Each structure stands twice: as structure tokens, then as C-alpha cells.
Structure 1
Amino acid sequence: MGMSAGYELSRRGLKTLLIDAFDPPHPNGSHHGEPRLIRHAYSGGPAYVKLALRADELWRELEEATGEKLLERAGVLNIADPDVYSYAGRFQDAADHGVRIEDLDADQIRFRWPDVRIPDHYRAMFEPNAGYLYSEKCVAAYKKLALHSGASLLPNTFVKRIQAERSFVSVFTNTEHFIANHVILSAGAWFKTLEPFVRLPIRSVRKVVGWFEPSVSSFEAGTFPGFTFASSLGSYYGFPDIAGAGVKIGRHETGEEWQPGEDLVPFGAYSEDEGDLRKALEAYMPDAAGKLLKSAVCKYEHTPDDHFIIDTHPEHSNVILAGGFSGHGFKFASVVGEILANQIELGHWGRDVGLFSAARFSPISP
């Protein structure tokens, strides 16, 4: 979100400084271990659908500006046990906004993707124009364009303290002191390091993903889509085998609490790291449940209601908060950057962000 906003601000001619505790793209946030799903028939109502469609436009513009392939329209197959979860609420939103979707029964799913094994009562919502983003390439693309547009980047620099006045904001690092008219805080799972200046109800959790070797070629990218499963086993998401990396799968709703500064426990420290992922593949895509080829550990940043926080600080209107993207935010990074830049340059968001008001949580400051 920060790199996207940095590009938007710098290309509009605003003097922009980007400060990162690491050197993006990096493995200390929530963007590494490509790729990330992008869907448009989104849960959460029309606000998310509109954002997803605008985000898609901006990702395409980023591709054109860089000449990089960043978005693969592989489609996304969302499979669910109707006794556990239903996609029915999304159909009207999709129709209202021109999003193409297909409502499939189990026989239709098995006919089109024979290596998917599901019970007869399962259903799916297939979105053919959805797909996935190469997340690290996206961050690198924004970084390149932001620097080319005149932004400055201060990597490997930890923000120690922030102090806001009516007309300016001071940011203190270990060695330097910066003053700006406006500041955007998009610290991801590291927001607690900014307390007590701002307190957000963000819970950071450790997440794991794995890449498994398929035994058949039908899971290869270009043939198999991105996917999600929602059943009594849990909520899972995944990707086809891209260039021999294996079928990638992760679980959405679990995770161990993590505090900024703590070591991130490596993959395999808990039996369920591989076990939870493998059991879903064995249940629904057994021919993809081969040898574990690769693994990664990253972070989610949850809000209590899993909606984002996009708002100004309750006491300082020149400080903008962007956080709590809750494990489903990356696809929106392009449009969130635009929204944040609008607020600074134009004095308004340019989009309806009422759903993401920090005021729904109280208190968020001392």
C-alpha cells in the first residue's frame, strides 16, 4: 500500500519520501511468496466490488507503464460446501457491476476440472476474468516508477517515533528527523511499533503456505485456475503450478499470534504447518498432494471485523492510516494507493471509504 501511494504521490509532482524498515520487496511483510489472487465478485458488498474493478484497471496501467507481466487472467474457481458457506450473496453485486461469473454444480466442476474431487452437493462460483498478481514484481514495479518519478526511498530504516502538529508531522528514525506536511502510516503487521502515537485493533498472526508437487500436468498454469475452498475442513486458497514451482496452497482463517520484533517461527515448527495444507489437497485435489517442494512463512494483519482501516488519525488530520488489510488486501493495493494520494493532494478520498473508518473501533489513540 505504501509503495503504491508513494508512486501515486510522486507522479503527481508531490515531494515524497518512502521509509521502510527493510528494503522492499522483502520477506518481512505480507507481500512475498508470489502470487496473490485478484477477484472482482467480492464478499463484503458493492464497496469491495467497485474497489476491485478499479484496482484491476490500475494494475493494467502499471503493466503498461513498466512493460512487465504482473497480472495473469487464469480465472478463479471458488468451491464451497453450501452447508458451510454460500456465494449466493455475490451474484447480484456481480450482475450490478458487470462482473462475469458462472454458478456451477458439482458435475459441471468435475467435467471442466476432472482432477477436482468434491461431494455431489458442493457448488462453485467461477470468475473467468479473475486471476492472480505477481506480488513481489508489483512492489518492485511501483518502487521503480516511484523513484523514476522523483520519490526518495530510505530502506532499512526503522521509524522510532512520530509527532504531529497542526501544520506538520515529525518522523524520527534512529539517526534522522524528517518533517512533512502529511504522513501515511501503512505499517502492516508492524503497527504496534507506532504506539502510543496511534493504537489500532490489529492482530498480527503467523501464516504459512506450501508448494506441492502434482503428479499430473492438468494443474499447470494456463490449464488450471486459481482456487479457493470453503468447507468443514477450513478456508483455503491456492494457485496452479507456475513454471514447475508446484501447486501453492494456504489456509486463511488460522495462525499463531505474532508480535513485531519476535522471531517468525519457521515452517514446520508445528505439525499443522504442512498437515493443514496437505489434508485439503488430499481431500479435494489428491493428484496435487505430492512432495512438499517449497514453503514460506508470512503475516496477516487482522481487524476484528476483517474490514480494512483507511482513515485519518482521530486527532491529526494530516496523518493518514492504512492498515488492517486482513489477509485479503494485496489485490487492492493499486487503488488504495490512489485513494491515499487523493486525500493528500485533493483533500478527499475520491472513493466511498466509510466502511473502512477507524471510528468503528474505539479507542484507537491514548
Structure 2
Amino acid sequence: MGMSAGYELARRGFKTLLIDAFDPPHPNGSHHGEPRLIRHAYHGGEAYVRLALRADERWLELEAAAGEKLLERAGVLNMSDPDVYTFDGRLDDALKLGVRLEMLDVPEIVKRWPGVRLPDTYRAMYEPDAGYLYSERCVAAYKKLALKAGAELVTNTFVTDVKAENSIVSVRTKDDTFLAGHVVLSAGAWFKTLEPFIKLPIRAVRKSVAWFEPRGTLFDAGTFPGFTLGTKAGGYYGFPNIAGAGVKLGRHDTGVEWTPGEPFEPFGAYPEDEGYLRRTLETFLPDSAGKLLNGAACKYELTPDDNFIIDTHPHHSNVILAGGFSGHGFKFASVVGEIAADLIERRVSDQDLRLFSVARFAVAR
């Protein structure tokens, strides 16, 4: 989100400084371990669907500007136990806004994708225009284009303090203090380190993802789509075998609480890092559950209601807050950067941001 906002501001002619605790793209946040799903038939109401459609447009613009492939229209197959989740709400919102959809029963799912094994009661919603983004390529493209547009980037530098007074914001690091008329705070799972300047109910969680070697070609990219899976045992998301990397699977719920500054345990530290992912593939996509090829642990940043925070600071209108995105946020990075730039340049966004207001949290200050 920060690299997107930095690029958008720089290309509009703003003098732009980007400060990152690491050197993006990097493995210390939520964007590493390509790829990320992009879907348009979204839960949460029309605001999310419109946001997803605008994000798609902006990703294509980034592709053109960067001159490289960032988005694959592989389709996304959303499979679910109807006792856990139905598609009724987002189906209506998506159709109203022109999203192409197909509702499928199990025989049709298995006919199209023979590697799938589902109970007869399951249903699916297929989005042919959805797909996945090469997340690290996207961040690298933003970085390259932001610098080309005149932005400056300070890497491997932690922000230790933020203050705002008389329309000027000061951002302090170990060695320097920077002053600006406007600041975008997009600290991911590290938002707690910005207290007491802003206190948000963002919970940092350690999550694991893994890549498994499939048997045969049923799950190869170009044959199998991106997918989500809602079961009584949990909610999962995954990707086909892209260039031999293996079938990727992650779990949206659960996770281990993590506090910035504490040790972050690598993949494999817990038996369930691989265990529940493998069991899920063995149950629903059995021929994809071969040898473990790779695993990664990443950081989620979650709000209590799973909705984003995109708003101005409660007391400082020249400070933009962008956080709480993990689990389903990367696909929106392109439009979030546009929103942040609009809030600075025009003080208003064309998107409906009411759902993302910081005011919904009584603890914010």
C-alpha cells in the first residue's frame, strides 16, 4: 500500500519520500510469497465490489507503465460448504455491477476440473475474469516507477516516532527527523510501533503458507484456476502450480499472535504449518498433495471486523491511515494508493470509504 501511494503521489508531482523498515520487496511483511488472488465478486457490499473493479483497472495501468506481466486472468473458483458460507449477498452485488459469474454444482466442477473432490452438497461460484497478481513483481514495479517519477526511498530504516503540530508532521528515525505537510501511514503489522500517535485495534498474526508438488498436470497454471475453499474445518485460499513452484495453499482463519519486536518463528516451527494445509489438499484436491516444496511464514494485520482502515487521523487531517488489510488486502493496493493520493490532493475520494472509517473503533485516538 505504501509503495502504491508513493508512486501515485510522485507521478502527480508531489515531493515524495518513502521510508521502509526493510527494502521492498522483502519477506518481512505480508506481500512476499507470490502470488495473490484478485476477485471482483466480493463479500462486504457494493463498496468492496467497486473497489475491486477499480483496483483491477489500476493494475492494468501499472502493467502498461512497467512493461511486464503482473496480473494473470486465470479465473477463481470459490468452493464452499453451504452450511458454512453461501454466495447470495456478494452474488447480487457483483451481478448488479456487471461482474461475470457462474454458479456451479459438484458434477459441473468435477467435469471442468477433474482433480477436485467435494461432498455433493458443496457449491461453487466461478469468476472467469478473476485471477492472481504477482505480488512481489507488483511491489518492485511500484518501487521502480516511483523512483523514476522522482520519489526518494530510505530503506532499512525504522520509524521510531511520529508527531503532528501546526500542519507539519515530523517523522523520526534513529538517525534523522523528516518534516512533511502530509504523511501516509501504512505500517502493516507494525502499526503498534506508532503508538501513542495513533492507536488502532490492528492485531498482528503469524500465518503459514506452503507449496506442494502435484501429481500429473491437472493443477498446472493454465489448466487450474486460483481458488478459495470454505469448509467446517476452516477457510482456505490457493493457487495452481505456476512454473513448477507447486500448488500453493494458505489458511485465512486461525494463526499465532505476534507482537512487533518479538522473535518471528520461521515456517515449520509448528506442526500445523504444514499439517492442516496438507490435510486439506488430501481431502479436497488429493492429487495436489505431494512432496512439500516450500513453505513460508508471513504477517497478517487484522481488524476486529476484518474490514480495512482507510481514513484520515482522528485529529490530524493531513495524516492518512491505511491499515488492517491482511487476508484479503493485496488485490486492493493499486486503488488504495490512488485513494491516499486523492485524500491528500483533493481531500476526497471517488470511492465510498464509510465502511473503512476509523471512527467505528471507539479505542482509536
Q: TM-score range by the shorter chain?
A: over 0.9
Match in the other structure for 1:41: 41
2:60 counterpart letter in structure 1: R
Unaligned runs of 5+ in 1: none
- Asked whether 1:97 is paired with 2:97, we answer yes
CA contact (8 A) 2:73 2:132 kept: yes
Match in the other structure for 2:217: 217
SS of aligned partner of 2:163: strand
1:168 counterpart letter in structure 2: I
SS of aligned partner of 2:268: coil
Match in the other structure for 2:31: 31
Match in the other structure for 1:148: 148
Per the TM alignment, residue 350 of structure 1 is displaced from its structure 2 partner at its CA by 2.5
* CA distance in structure 2 between the partners assigned to 1:199 and 1:57 by the alignment: 33
State the identity as a percent. 71
> How do residues 265-280 of structure 1 correspond to structure 2 at under 5 angstroms?
265-280=265-280
Per the TM alignment, residue 84 of structure 1 is displaced from its structure 2 partner at its CA by 1.2
> How do residues 72-91 of structure 1 correspond to structure 2 at under 5 angstroms?
72-91=72-91
1:251-285 CA distance string (max 9 Å, x none)? 00010000101121111111111111001100100
Per the TM alignment, residue 87 of structure 1 is displaced from its structure 2 partner at its CA by 1.0
Match in the other structure for 2:229: 229
1:186 counterpart letter in structure 2: S
Match in the other structure for 2:157: 157
* CA distance in structure 1 between the partners assigned to 2:290 and 2:9 by the alignment: 46
* CA distance in structure 1 between the partners assigned to 2:326 and 2:305 by the alignment: 9
CA contact (8 A) 1:307 1:326 kept: no
> How do residues 191-206 of structure 1 correspond to structure 2 at under 5 angstroms?
191-206=191-206
* CA distance in structure 2 between the partners assigned to 1:175 and 1:299 by the alignment: 27
SS of aligned partner of 1:206: strand
CA contact (8 A) 2:106 2:122 kept: yes
* CA distance in structure 1 between the partners assigned to 2:363 and 2:258 by the alignment: 22
The runs of at least 4 aligned residues of structure 1 exceeding 3 Å deviation read: none
* CA distance in structure 1 between the partners assigned to 2:172 and 2:3 by the alignment: 20
Match in the other structure for 1:189: 189
Q: Which moved more, 1:47-56 or 1:344-353?
A: 344-353
* CA distance in structure 1 between the partners assigned to 2:270 and 2:361 by the alignment: 33
1:130 counterpart letter in structure 2: A
Q: Which moved more, 1:200-209 or 1:158-167?
A: 158-167
SS of aligned partner of 1:79: strand
CA contact (8 A) 1:258 1:264 kept: yes
SS of aligned partner of 1:77: strand
1:221 counterpart letter in structure 2: A
Per the TM alignment, residue 166 of structure 1 is displaced from its structure 2 partner at its CA by 2.7
> How do residues 328-343 of structure 1 correspond to structure 2 at under 5 angstroms?
328-343=328-343
* CA distance in structure 1 between the partners assigned to 2:75 and 2:181 by the alignment: 43
Per the TM alignment, residue 167 of structure 1 is displaced from its structure 2 partner at its CA by 1.4
Per the TM alignment, residue 18 of structure 1 is displaced from its structure 2 partner at its CA by 0.2
Per the TM alignment, residue 362 of structure 1 is displaced from its structure 2 partner at its CA by 1.1
- Asked whether 1:54 is paired with 2:59, we answer no
CA contact (8 A) 2:212 2:291 kept: yes
SS of aligned partner of 2:310: strand
2:287 counterpart letter in structure 1: D
2:201 counterpart letter in structure 1: P
Per the TM alignment, residue 2 of structure 1 is displaced from its structure 2 partner at its CA by 0.5
* CA distance in structure 2 between the partners assigned to 1:238 and 1:363 by the alignment: 35
> How do residues 237-252 of structure 1 correspond to structure 2 at under 5 angstroms?
237-252=237-252
2:98 counterpart letter in structure 1: G
Match in the other structure for 1:359: 359
1:200-234 CA distance string (max 9 Å, x none)? 00000000000000011110001000001001121
Report how many residues are paired: 365
* CA distance in structure 1 between the partners assigned to 2:159 and 2:105 by the alignment: 51
Per the TM alignment, residue 347 of structure 1 is displaced from its structure 2 partner at its CA by 1.6
SS of aligned partner of 2:44: coil
Per the TM alignment, residue 89 of structure 1 is displaced from its structure 2 partner at its CA by 1.4
Per the TM alignment, residue 327 of structure 1 is displaced from its structure 2 partner at its CA by 1.4
SS of aligned partner of 1:160: strand
1:295-349 CA distance string (max 9 Å, x none)? 0110111100000001111111111110011311000000000000001111212
CA contact (8 A) 2:75 2:129 kept: yes
* CA distance in structure 2 between the partners assigned to 1:81 and 1:347 by the alignment: 43
1:70-127 CA distance string (max 9 Å, x none)? 0000000000011111112121111111000000001110110111001111100000
* CA distance in structure 1 between the partners assigned to 2:226 and 2:279 by the alignment: 18
Per the TM alignment, residue 159 of structure 1 is displaced from its structure 2 partner at its CA by 0.6
Match in the other structure for 1:291: 291
Unaligned runs of 5+ in 2: none
* CA distance in structure 2 between the partners assigned to 1:263 and 1:27 by the alignment: 14
* CA distance in structure 1 between the partners assigned to 2:216 and 2:119 by the alignment: 21
Match in the other structure for 1:123: 123
Match in the other structure for 2:350: 350
